Amino acid sequence: MADRRSRITPLRASQVYEAVLGLLREVGYDALTMEAVAARSRAGKATLYRQWGGKPQLVIAALRHRRPLRTEAIDTGTLRGDLHALVEQAGEDKLVHDARLHLGVGGAILDNTELRRSLRESVLEPVLADMAAMLRRAVRRGEVRADCPALDLVPRTLCSLIIARLLLSDEPMDVAEARRHLDGLLLPALGIHPLALAAP
């Protein structure tokens, strides 16, 4: 059957997903067309529809396929070390790409619950979970008080800063800027003051 012969390989699927993620960052969800995905990945449009059904399903599959940051192995012995290592590992590319990805699907997620959930599960939640683990270790080490109200707020705040950055500034968030927010705002909110101030 034609259907079986044209089933695409995992390698080809992964090329299609990369094309989708690239287009999401460049033109956004609404302007993304199956034609453009087909052209960029050198796949047939009919193949795309047969394999994934349509644009929403293909975008969701691409988001789920996306390789998350591997931050779960970070454990430097201090909270500051952990958070700086996380930002370092994300690197300029990831900080900018993820922000563009979120803005690219921004309009579409307003009324597409499944797309929103896919974006959150594939991009945000792994990093939020790893940051929560870093904070729990810092509490166990006595670096941060267990009742510190910022504990719950810091992981999402860091993600918000990265995501919203392209709306707030012409310069995307780079690693140096992310470090500045860690040392100047997020760690002080947790009671850690890396930028020692002279006595007042």
Using CB under 8 A as the criterion, which residues of the chain lie in contact with its own copies when the complex forms?
25-31, 100, 102-111, 116, 119-120, 124, 145, 147-150, 152-154, 156-157, 159-161, 163-170, 180-181, 183-186, 188-189, 191, 195, 197-198, 200
Q: Are 62 and 22 in contact (CB under 8 A)?
A: no
Q: How far is the CB of 163 from its own copies (least distance, A)?
A: 4
Instruction: Quote the tokens at residue 118.
Output: 């896919």
Place of tokens 């002080």: 188
Q: How far is the CB of 186 from its own copies (least distance, A)?
A: 7
Q: How far is the CB of 98 from its own copies (least distance, A)?
A: 11
Residue 85 or 153 with smaller CB distance to its own copies: 153
Sequence-ordered list of residues with C-beta below 8 angstroms from that of 52, at least 6 positions apart, any chain = 58, 61
Place of tokens 């927010």: 181
Residue 6 or 33 with smaller CB distance to its own copies: 33
Distances (CA, A) of 163 to 35, 144, 185: 28, 26, 17
Pick from 12, 101, 105: which is nearest to 50 by CA? Answer: 12
Q: How far is the CB of 190 from its own copies (least distance, A)?
A: 8
Residue 42 or 145 with smaller CB distance to its own copies: 145
Q: How far is the CB of 12 from its own copies (least distance, A)?
A: 27
Pick from 42, 66, 41, 62: which is nearest to 52 by CA? Answer: 62
Q: How far is the CB of 132 from its own copies (least distance, A)?
A: 14
Residue 8 or 115 with smaller CB distance to its own copies: 115
Place of tokens 């860690």: 182
Instruction: Quote the tokens at residue 86.
Output: 């996380």
Residue 13 or 104 with smaller CB distance to its own copies: 104
Residue 13 or 22 with smaller CB distance to its own copies: 22
